[in-house]
């Protein structure tokens, strides 16, 4: 029996070694490029060429969450204030970054575009995350996990504040949102107003669902705890309030002045400013689906985006990697579910009275 166990353990170890040997690998080094500027060098150290999906990762050229920043003094993580991206289900050639075996990809970005570093002082910076690998590939796993060195930076707060102010000015947030952006056409404004109407109804329905805490609530949020239900309910009520067309914390633009609508993106939200950019793909969506769950529509997209805005009942939600679309959004534990935008959007969409009363199949 002991011999058999040893054989099985040896076979298992060999299988593990074989599998780990066929995982995509990159070496990530980050260095300072001056004050809050960061340079990342990514080397493909694996066995094969890589085609990496750029979306919401270190490889994305937009102001998405590329790094984590902590205060050196007490290790407190800073709140991410960059862009939150809602992808469509489609990709094109521009959605992928190709790095041949042994080649190096270098990218630069500014941490002050992603976090508030205006207080200045000492911080630690690290790039850690996952990205999707395009098939077909010889690798046995289509997920690339990467982790960089820890970088220590000393920040000039005044310079970081200037960078932040320039970003706010570039988004046009110095103009308060009295109504939908003037850069939207009359047709686009009409669609937004109708989608806001449905967004409000769906958010109210989501709030009632959190209060009732039925089987569907547990299906998405994995708990019946009162404190979680109250948080979800209040988040939906804040979204419903925000979906009324009047001055609030969010505002819309139909002009992609910051070139954020890449890689077939539906919409982009800046949590700090409340600016929601509706991309070209968003106008191809129906305003609302009436008889199915988990399909893209404009009203559900607005709910997703609204939860990303800071100050709508607490801090902004995130897009948990690989859980930012259905069906993966239902696989999170309750703690991550209440911080994941797509979980709110999917729950509200399927709780809407216009939807089928049946629970989704799984």
Q: Which residues are catalytic?
A: 305
Q: What angle do CA 13, 17, 21 make, to 5 degrees?
A: 170
> 319 a known binding residue?
yes
Between CA 203 and CA 305 the distance in angstroms is: 12
With the C-alpha atoms ordered 320, 321, 326, 330, is the resulting torsion angle positive or negative? Answer: negative
Grouping H, G, I as helix, E, B as strand and the rest as coil, residue 336 is helix
Between CA 204 and CA 207 the distance in angstroms is: 5
> 323 a known binding residue?
no
> 308 a known binding residue?
yes
DSSP state of 348: H
Q: How many CA atoms lie within 13 A of 89 on its CB side?
A: 9
Place of tokens 């490029």: 33
Q: What angle do CA 243, 247, 301 make, to 5 degrees?
A: 30
Q: How far, in Å, are 46, 69, 139 from residue 53 at the CA level?
A: 17, 23, 15
Grouping H, G, I as helix, E, B as strand and the rest as coil, residue 318 is strand
Alpha helices in the chain (DSSP H): 2-20, 157-171, 186-212, 215-221, 226-242, 298-307, 334-337, 341-351
Where is the binding site for Zn(2+), in residues?
304, 308, 319
Where is the binding site, in residues?
304, 308, 319
């Amino acid at each position: 029996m002991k011999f058999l166990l040893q054989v099985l353990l040896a076979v298992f170890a060999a299988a593990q070694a074989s599998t780990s040997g066929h995982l995509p690998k990159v070496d990530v080094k980050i260095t300072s490029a001056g004050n809050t500027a960061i340079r990342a060098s990514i080397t493909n150290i694996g066995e094969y060429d890589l085609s990496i999906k750029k979306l919401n990762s270190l490889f994305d050229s937009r102001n998405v969450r590329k790094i984590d920043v902590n205060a050196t003094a007490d290790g407190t993580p800073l709140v991410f204030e960059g862009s939150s991206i809602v992808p469509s289900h489609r990709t094109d050639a521009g959605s992928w970054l190709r790095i041949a075996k042994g080649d190096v990809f270098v990218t630069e970005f500014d941490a002050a575009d992603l976090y508030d570093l205006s207080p200045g002082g000492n911080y630690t910076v690290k790039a850690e995350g996952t990205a999707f690998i395009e098939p077909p590939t010889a690798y046995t796993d289509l997920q690339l996990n990467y982790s960089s060195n820890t970088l220590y930076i000393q920040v000039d707060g005044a310079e970081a504040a200037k960078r932040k102010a320039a970003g706010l000015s570039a988004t046009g947030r110095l103009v308060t949102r009295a109504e939908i952006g003037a850069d939207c056409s009359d047709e686009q404004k009409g669609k937004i107003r109708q989608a806001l109407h449905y967004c409000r109804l769906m958010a109210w329905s989501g709030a009632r669902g959190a209060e009732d805490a039925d089987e569907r609530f547990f299906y998405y949020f994995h708990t019946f705890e009162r404190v979680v239900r109250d948080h979800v309910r209040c988040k939906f009520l804040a979204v419903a309030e925000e979906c009324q067309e009047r001055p609030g914390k969010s505002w819309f633009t139909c002009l992609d002045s910051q070139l954020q609508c890449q890689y077939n993106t539906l919409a982009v939200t800046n949590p700090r400013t409340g600016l929601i950019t509706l991309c070209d793909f968003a106008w191809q969506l129906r305003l609302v689906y009436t008889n199915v769950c988990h399909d893209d529509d404009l009203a559900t997209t607005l709910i997703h985006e609204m939860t990303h805005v800071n100050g709508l009942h607490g801090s902004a939600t995130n897009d948990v990697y690989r859980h930012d679309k259905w069906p993966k959004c239902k696989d999170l534990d309750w703690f991550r579910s209440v911080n994941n935008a797509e979980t709110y959007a999917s729950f509200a969409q399927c709780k809407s009275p216009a939807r089928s009363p049946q629970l989704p199949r799984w």
